[in-house]
Amino acid sequence: MKGWTGQLLRINLTTKNATPEAYSKDFALQFVGGRGFAAKILWDEVPRGTDPLSPGNKFIAAAGPLSGLSMPNVGKTVVAAKSPLTGMYGDGNLGTHFGSQLRRSGFDLVVIEGKAEDPCYVLIEDSDVSILDADYLWGIGAFEAEQKLEDRHGKNIGTLMIGQGGENLVKYAVVRSMMGRAGGRPGMGTVMGSKNLKALVAKGSRTPEIADVSAFRQLGRDGFKDIREKPGYDHWMTQGTMLIHAWCQEYSVLPSYNFKEGQFEHADALNGDTMESMKEKTRGCPSCTMQCGHCIKDSEGKSAELDYENVALLGSNIGLRDLREVATLNRLADEYGLDTISLGNTIGFAMEASEKGILKEKLDWGDYQATRDLIQEIAFRKGPLGSMLAEGTHQVAKKLGKGTMDFAMQIKGLEVSGYDCHAAPGMALAFGVCSIGAHHKESWIITYEVDVGRETYDESKVDKIIELQRIRGGMFEQLVSCRFPWIEVGFDLEWYPKYFTAATGLKWKLDDFWSLADRVYSLVRAYAVREYNGEWDRTMDHPPARWFEHPLSCGPLTGATLDQDGYEKMLSWYYQKRGWDDRGIPKKKRLAEQGLDWVIPELEKVTTLE
Ligand code: PTT
Ligand code: SF4
């Protein structure tokens, strides 16, 4: 098998055993890498009802068949586990040398099981695996921990680590790497923390074997050149994801005041131009010519990286108007390893609950110092408020009651990313049916929707959502390659089957990747249905009540809300096109067509299938 190493590394932290395992060719062909590998293993090996924070959960870091090869933007790794935030399959995709160093050690993925008795970290050096004492790392932030690991194991290592948020089991703790990369929104860092696992380090010396070395080398060179010559490339390099900020304000989708509004009166102070005027450097993932991490000096004089999502959720969504202060909050989230999107949502929710007198603590919109303190309280679970907010908005709203669920901006437990949908039914549906909760990563339909007409509830929008899910939530997550070359500068999708063929020798077309994506979508959905244990229905795919019931009160779209009937109509189309029943559960026939008949007996233990 060329392209893949054909090996996974299984590490049990309870027994301290590390075992290399050959995986089958069928596993490689059916699931390819990244999300596909992780979903299949979690389905097979983490039994229904497993507590996500128990030793029975598994933490997986998975590369793909292109990881570590000389081509654009493959310096990423998928981290996955059963999520403590949603109770379903969860994952994220972050920039790191870890995946390529793991492959250079001879493995495509690592599966961590059990729980260490004391804080530890794992060092993988080719086939040598050590479980080491993490006493000197536990309790410190992700930046410092990374520095210490580099001091000890050298500069060119691949690392995945957690901050104090993961250690203290904040439910939305992420995995960190490279002094600025973060991934695994649905609590993948929390799962590491629950295993007393501070970090994973890999350094390898082998070169992954591929089918056609010279063709790959040429394609790699051509790909980098093509990206740099794209007409949008120079523009992208000025602000990266922050380019979208001004657009979001213009079209009333910029989350403001816990998604009450889609415009912010101080948006100019937070937008990409402001960021650009303060920019001190750029950084990003390995093997990337599009470095999108733009850093400014924060309000405490330290360097902090800004992305659109971070600025939207820790800026306008909590009523904060100073970009350097936003940058400080962003840096703290990075240091503690907390997901900025869930954090900004949770704080915005708490501010609104405080405004309404439901929370007794006083927490005003835009109060920087109170927010700064609160982030620390959340990371360390200090005090009743910090500890409560560490659970995420869904759990907090359940606890508080009094109608707070209506403005808890989450779907299936995962907080909504930075696009207000009062007047964007397509984007609302994209959040609603995203396989891991309300994330924009799978189907970012918002710019398309604004172009074609945001007031319509059309079947064509549903088709677009599925098309984007196949590309973004599918091919890029299985190949573990950054989607930005394609979506941001127009790098043609046809490059990817070419890279895949040169690596593996398999002559796949884009359609083969779409079938793969559909298979993994059905599997991840089946996983969710299984874990809901018979309680699953279509309301799980509903966005927060706020977008239906509380109209925008400012800007050109004042009065806008979503229409419930229109939404249901689109949701039904989505289910029909996916081959799922009207509860959103995959039908037997579709599962069988997708080669997933083996999930049927397990699903039938919790529900009836059509
Ligand atoms: C992603 C989510 C995003 S999506 C952002 S900003 W974005 C937030 N970034 C955080 C951060 O930073 N620090 C922190 N403590 N928490 C953060 N939470 C948020 O996490 C990221 C880029 C970005 S920047 C995006 S869109 C793209 N995402 C990709 C993806 O999901 N798949 C893929 N194949 N390619 C992608 N390319 C882009 O990568 P999650 P990164 Mg991230 C500081 O993983 O869990 O999906 O969360 O990986 O290396 O930081 O790159 O406007
Ligand atoms: Fe990483 Fe950004 Fe480059 Fe993608 S474009 S690989 S997220 S630095």
CATH of the domain at 533: 1.10.599.10
Whether residue 208 is contained in a domain is answered as: no
Q: Is the confidence at residue 1, as pLDDT, over 90? A: no
Nearest CA to ligand 2 atom 2: 292
CATH number at residue 373: 1.10.569.10
Q: Is the confidence at residue 160, as pLDDT, over 90? A: yes
Whether residue 408 is contained in a domain is answered as: yes
DSSP code, position 457: -
Mean pLDDT for 583-589 is 98
**In the prediction, which pLDDT does 278 show?**
98
Ligand 2 centroid to Cα of residue 494, in Å, is 19
Ligand 2 centroid to Cα of residue 290, in Å, is 6
- CA dist 249 → 47, 146, 259, 556 (Å): 45, 36, 13, 11
Is the Cα dihedral 51, 56, 59, 62 positive or negative? Answer: negative
Helix boundaries (H) for 473-563: 476-479, 484-489, 495-504, 510-531, 546-549
Helix boundaries (H) for 32-83: 34-45
- Look up the domain containing 605 and give its range: 422-490+509-610
Same domain? For 260 and 358 the reply is yes
> If you compute the radius of gyration of the chain from its CA atoms, what whole number of angstroms results?
22
**Residue in 441, 443, 446, 470 to alter for ligand 1 test, most ligand atoms within 8 A of Cβ:** 441
CB-side neighbour CA atoms (13 Å) of 328: 16
Whether residue 585 is contained in a domain is answered as: yes
**In the prediction, which pLDDT does 202 show?**
98
Residues facing residue 580 across a β-bridge:
586
Mean pLDDT for 49-76 is 98
Same domain? For 395 and 455 the reply is no
Tokens 């909050």, residue located: 329
Q: Which one of 141, 174, 203 terminates a domain? A: 203
Q: What letter represents residue 72's amino acid?
A: P
Q: For the segment 408-433, what is each residue's pLDDT rounded down to a tens digit?
A: 999 999 999 999 999 999 999 999 99
Same domain? For 426 and 412 the reply is no
Q: Is the confidence at residue 507, as pLDDT, over 90? A: yes
Tokens of 4: 């893949």
How many residues are recorded in the chain? 610
What's the pLDDT band for 72 if we cut at 50, 70, 90? very high
Whether residue 219 is contained in a domain is answered as: no
Tokens of 366: 């835009």
**Residue in 73, 94, 287 to alter for ligand 2 test, most ligand atoms within 8 A of Cβ:** 73
Same domain? For 73 and 176 the reply is yes
Q: For residues 500 and 65, is the Cβ–Cβ distance under 8 A? A: yes
Strands (E), 48-87: 59-62, 76-82
**In the prediction, which pLDDT does 156 show?**
84
Mean pLDDT for 341-351 is 98
What's the pLDDT band for 306 if we cut at 50, 70, 90? very high
CB-side neighbour CA atoms (13 Å) of 309: 19
Q: Which one of 365, 397, 418 terminates a domain? A: 418
Same domain? For 326 and 384 the reply is yes
Same domain? For 413 and 513 the reply is no
**In the prediction, which pLDDT does 534 show?**
82
**In the prediction, which pLDDT does 239 show?**
98
Same domain? For 581 and 441 the reply is yes
Does the pTM surpass 0.75? The reply is yes
Q: How far apart are CA 176 and CA 524, in angstroms?
A: 24
- CA dist 469 → 152, 444, 466, 581 (Å): 41, 9, 5, 19
Tokens of 9: 């590394």
Same domain? For 412 and 263 the reply is yes
CATH number at residue 54: 3.60.9.10
Mean pLDDT for 389-394 is 98
Nearest CA to ligand 2 atom 6: 73
Other C-beta atoms lying within 10 Å of the C-beta of residue 40: 19
Whether residue 260 is contained in a domain is answered as: yes
For the chain, how long is the longest CA-to-CA vector?
A: 67
Mean pLDDT for 510-523 is 98
Q: How far apart are CA 490 and CA 227, in angstroms?
A: 8
Same domain? For 386 and 287 the reply is yes
Q: For the segment 176-222, what is each residue's pLDDT rounded down to a tens digit?
A: 999 999 999 999 999 999 999 999 999 999 999 999 999 999 999 99
Residues with CB under 6 A from ligand 2: 73, 95, 284-285, 288, 290-292, 482, 484
Same domain? For 350 and 427 the reply is no
Q: How far apart are CA 365 and CA 314, in angstroms?
A: 11
Q: How many domains does the chain have?
A: 3
**In the prediction, which pLDDT does 222 show?**
98
Whether residue 216 is contained in a domain is answered as: no
- CA dist 431 → 105, 268, 363, 469, 579 (Å): 37, 27, 28, 11, 19
**In the prediction, which pLDDT does 260 show?**
98
Same domain? For 551 and 513 the reply is yes
- Ligand closest in space to the Cα of 344: 1
Nearest CA to ligand 1 atom 20: 183
Contacts of 144 (CB under 8 A, 6+ apart): none
Whether residue 577 is contained in a domain is answered as: yes
Same domain? For 134 and 165 the reply is yes
Q: Which one of 418, 436, 456 terminates a domain? A: 418
Whether residue 341 is contained in a domain is answered as: yes
The DSSP secondary structure of 148-162, one letter per residue, reads: HHHHHH-TT-EEEE-
